[in-house]
């Protein structure tokens, strides 16, 4: 067989992931905080981009949240459909009607006309955003006139501080801060352990505390080798630190944490110590076994349980002053007084970006060499592409959210028991997009609804076959039904997993016992035996 070289010409279709396409895909899965950081970095790197701080004067192309400008997919006109309130879809309900354009107040909106037999009345007809003015009763403070100067001058003449540059005027000195756990323990360490070597060991122990205030996985021998001291000294310093405030700090286990607090209250008697050695019996509500192990009667066991419930198993959380991170919804949903739903993109989460054409024209005319012209052109194309990508992102989010609301209309009207099974393919086929695109859009995106704030992923649940072999039920709805039945059970009629299966099958839900047990354990609901013991102990 002879080897030879030859030239062939072939034609094929391939998908090329350009940097711009990769950027557009990346923007889809970013949360509103990550998107804001990304836009800030782009503005720092691109001199043609800037934040929109007010109405445009015609020198720049405004991007209200998503890059207005150009025609949006699905019949959305850029400047017309993109206002301060973002993209809007009016009158959503459960019917699968296609989008139709309808002028509203001189604007073009992406509108879906639907009807519904069950509608939700709007809680308030007030607009989502309202402007308030700061009104001052004295004109001297509004325009910086001589009147305001006279006020400050007369205050200085009366012996007050004449300005903000005075060395004695320090606003930071008036600020207060809450003491953290490390500072609180360090102060006690310096008082109770005056030896510098012991303080060094104590500081090392403080650094090893977890969020609950425990020494998880503590090894005294390893720490002694690391610090070059005796194991006995480490144990002695640890015993001293366990007497610090808050009680229970520096514990190595739950048993030790509770024992430290009980010893502080002088309640660590032999019966209580036996109970701490058998906490698993207390968790299982096994009252006869507890009475046998502790050698006490039922009344004493009840008193000991009351004392244990007053303890704090995580003492360090009392010093956790980190504010909770609030979720800012990307989509705002509310009931339409005329029926259906109103959807808007949250304008607070949409970056307002401008492409400065005046500056581009000025620096383009002043460019002297080829490298400068190429740089300016590349920056201009990058800015326009970012505008287009932001606009496409907002449009895609709105399309996906509107279809989710259309599919889950019964949930918003009746509650979680009417949540229907939904997968990514259902939304993707309805709006003509790929499943991966829908997955990226629903990642880290939240929607404020009349029933609370939900992540878009929440509305996608697996299906459980119905008893008739045709109807299907949402797994989330089944879990809610199981929890509802368990919460309503009586102490003398606790529902076992088999009984739950029988009830669900009678309601048309074909579910296995192991599935019920899995859902129950996922919701941290004890078994029927443990629930019966707990309910009987409260009687």
pLDDT in tens, 356-384: 899 888 888 888 888 888 999 999 998 99
Q: Is 474 exposed, middle or buried (0-12, 13-18, 19+ CB in 10 A)?
A: buried
What is the tens place of the pLDDT at every residue in 206-230?
988 888 889 988 888 888 888 888 8
Determine the average pLDDT of the residues in 481-504: 87
Distance CA 539, CA 532 (A): 11
Please tell me the predicted confidence (pLDDT) of residue 55.
Answer: 52
Q: The tokens of 61 are what?
A: 């192309």
Distances in whole angstroms, Cα of residue 484 to Cα of each of 171, 410, 500, 506, 508: 55, 19, 11, 16, 17
* Sequence ranges of the chain with CATH classification 1.10.10: 464-537
Report whether 107 contacts 138 (CB < 8 A): no
Distances in whole angstroms, Cα of residue 460 to Cα of each of 464, 475, 507: 13, 10, 22
Query: Where does 408-474 have alpha helices with state H?
Result: 409-414, 424-431, 435-441
Q: Is 330 exposed, middle or buried (0-12, 13-18, 19+ CB in 10 A)?
A: buried
Model confidence, pTM: 0.58
Backbone angles phi, psi at 344, to 5 degrees: -140, 145
- Comparing 153 with 185, the larger pLDDT belongs to 185
What is the tens place of the pLDDT at every residue in 416-473?
888 888 889 999 999 999 999 999 999 889 999 998 899 999 999 887 877 666 567 7
Q: How far apart are the first and last CA of the chain?
A: 93
Report whether 93 contacts 114 (CB < 8 A): yes
Contacts 24+ apart (CB under 8 A), 270-278: 271/295, 271/296, 271/300, 271/304, 272/304, 272/307, 275/301, 275/304, 275/308
User: 464-537: what CATH class?
Assistant: mainly alpha
Please tell me the predicted confidence (pLDDT) of residue 302.
Answer: 86
Query: If pLDDT is split at 50, 70 and 90, which confidence band does 70 have?
Result: very low
- pLDDT surpasses 90 at 400: yes
Report whether 234 contacts 241 (CB < 8 A): no
- Comparing 100 with 318, the larger pLDDT belongs to 318
Scored b (16 or more CB within 10 A) or e, 250-281 reads bbeeeebbbbbbbebeebbeebbebbbebeeb
Nearest to 464 by CA among 410, 434, 501, 415: 501
Report whether 354 contacts 61 (CB < 8 A): yes
Query: If pLDDT is split at 50, 70 and 90, which confidence band does 99 have?
Result: very low
Between CA 230 and CA 242, with CA 236 as vertex, the angle to 5 degrees is 140
Report whether 332 contacts 448 (CB < 8 A): yes
Q: Radius of gyration of the chain from Cα atoms?
A: 33
Q: Cis peptide leading into 13, omega within 30 of 0? A: no
């Amino acid at each position: 067989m002879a080897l030879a070289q030859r030239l062939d010409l072939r034609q094929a279709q391939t998908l090329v992931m350009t940097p711009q396409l990769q950027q557009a895909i990346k923007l889809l899965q970013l949360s509103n905080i990550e998107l804001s950081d990304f836009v800030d970095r782009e503005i720092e790197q691109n001199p043609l981009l800037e934040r929109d701080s007010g109405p445009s004067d015609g020198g720049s192309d405004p991007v209200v949240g998503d890059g207005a400008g150009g025609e949006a997919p699905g019949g959305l006109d850029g400047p017309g459909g993109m206002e301060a309130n973002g993209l809007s879809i009016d009158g959503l309900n459960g019917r699968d009607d296609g989008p139709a354009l309808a002028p509203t107040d001189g604007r073009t909106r992406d509108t879906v006309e639907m009807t519904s037999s069950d509608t939700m009345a709007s809680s308030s007809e007030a607009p989502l955003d309202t402007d308030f003015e700061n009104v001052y009763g004295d004109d001297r403070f509004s325009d910086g006139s001589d009147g305001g100067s006279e006020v400050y001058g007369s205050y200085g003449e009366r012996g007050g501080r004449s300005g903000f540059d005075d060395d004695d005027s320090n606003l930071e000195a008036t600020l207060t801060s809450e003491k953290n756990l490390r500072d609180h323990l360090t102060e006690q360490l310096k008082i109770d352990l005056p030896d510098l070597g012991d303080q060094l060991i104590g500081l090392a122990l403080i650094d090893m505390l977890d969020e609950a205030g425990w020494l998880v996985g503590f090894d005294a021998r390893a720490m002694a080798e690391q610090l070059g001291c005796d194991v006995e000294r480490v144990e002695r310093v640890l015993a001293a630190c366990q007497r610090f405030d808050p009680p229970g700090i520096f514990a190595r286990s739950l048993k030790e944490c509770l024992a430290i607090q009980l010893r502080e209250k002088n309640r660590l008697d032999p019966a209580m110590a036996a109970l701490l050695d058998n906490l698993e019996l207390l968790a299982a509500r096994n009252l006869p076994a507890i009475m046998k192990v502790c050698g006490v009667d039922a009344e004493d066991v009840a008193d000991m349980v009351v004392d244990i419930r007053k303890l704090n198993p995580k003492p360090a959380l009392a010093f956790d002053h980190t504010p909770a991170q609030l979720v800012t919804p990307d989509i705002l949903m509310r009931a339409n007084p005329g029926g259906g739903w109103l959807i808007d993109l949250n304008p607070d989460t949409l970056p307002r970006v401008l492409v400065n054409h005046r500056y581009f024209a000025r620096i383009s005319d002043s460019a002297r060499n080829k490298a400068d012209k190429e740089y300016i052109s590349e920056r201009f194309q990058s800015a326009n592409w970012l505008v287009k990508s932001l606009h496409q992102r907002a449009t895609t989010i709105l399309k996906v959210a509107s279809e989710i609301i259309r599919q889950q209309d019964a949930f918003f009207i009746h509650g979680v028991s009417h949540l229907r099974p939904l997968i990514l393919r259902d939304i993707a086929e309805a709006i003509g997009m790929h499943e991966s695109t829908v997955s990226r859009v629903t990642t880290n995106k939240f929607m404020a609804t009349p029933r609370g704030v939900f992540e878009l992923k929440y509305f996608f649940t697996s299906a459980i076959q119905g008893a008739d072999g045709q109807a299907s039920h949402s797994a989330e709805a089944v879990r809610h039904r199981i929890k509802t039945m368990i919460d309503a059970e009586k102490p003398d009629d606790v529902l076992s997993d088999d009984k739950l299966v029988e009830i669900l099958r009678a309601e048309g839900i074909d579910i296995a016992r192991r599935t019920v047990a899995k859902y129950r354990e996922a919701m941290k609901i004890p078994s029927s035996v443990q629930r019966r013991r707990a309910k009987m102990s409260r009687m």
